[in-house]
Amino acid sequence: MHISITAVAMVFTGTLAHANTTCDDLWLARNTIFKSHGYCFGSTLGKTIFGNANCTTVEPKITTELEDRVQKIWQRAKLLGCQTDQARTTLPIYNLEQRKLILHQPIATMTESACIGYKGETFSLFDAPNDGATEIGSIQKGDDIGWFHDDEKSWSFMTTLSKQDGSTPVSGWSVEKVFPNCEAAAG
């Protein structure tokens, strides 16, 4: 049986690392929404991660739906006691550059699970949890998959921990049910 030692180690020993990055993930999700609406960052972290090219305001106008999402993210951060250091210049988020392109940012949770050695058919990942979303990648047989975010309706936000074909890992939304099509499961 093929089991990725790296993926298993990431899930079992990465719990503390994941706990330490949950607040950073929530910061990323919230600020990705603001950036997509022209926000001009004042903090060192915001400027480093997003830049201020094409920014237009420090008070972006967002839809009621996005405002509700931002409030959910703030509530989760408050519950966890998050205090993101705005003076630093790095954000330890797995797959950061691709995550910044996600249309509908997931909300990080403190739980995690993984499918080691996915055994099913190839399926697509999307930039939002809805039928009109854009395909941004796929999960293929042999990939290792992690879940670090809340599900929404029947959709899950998945992150490939390693790609069987050696391609770049990807994160995205899917309605596919992966378990029990795994060589091993963790979490």
Cα–Cα distance for residue pair 171/127, rounded to 1 Å: 9
- Domain borders along the chain are 5-186
Q: pLDDT tens for residues 37-85?
A: 999 999 999 999 999 999 999 999 999 999 999 999 999 999 999 999 9
Cα–Cα distance for residue pair 150/109, rounded to 1 Å: 6
**C-beta separation of 159 from 146 below 8 A:** yes
pLDDT of residue 5: 40
The whole-model pTM stands at 0.86
* Per-run averaged pLDDT (10 residues), the chain, 187 residues: 43 45 95 97 98 96 96 95 95 92 92 94 96 94 95 95 88 93 92
Q: Kindly report the CATH class assigned to 5-186.
A: mainly beta
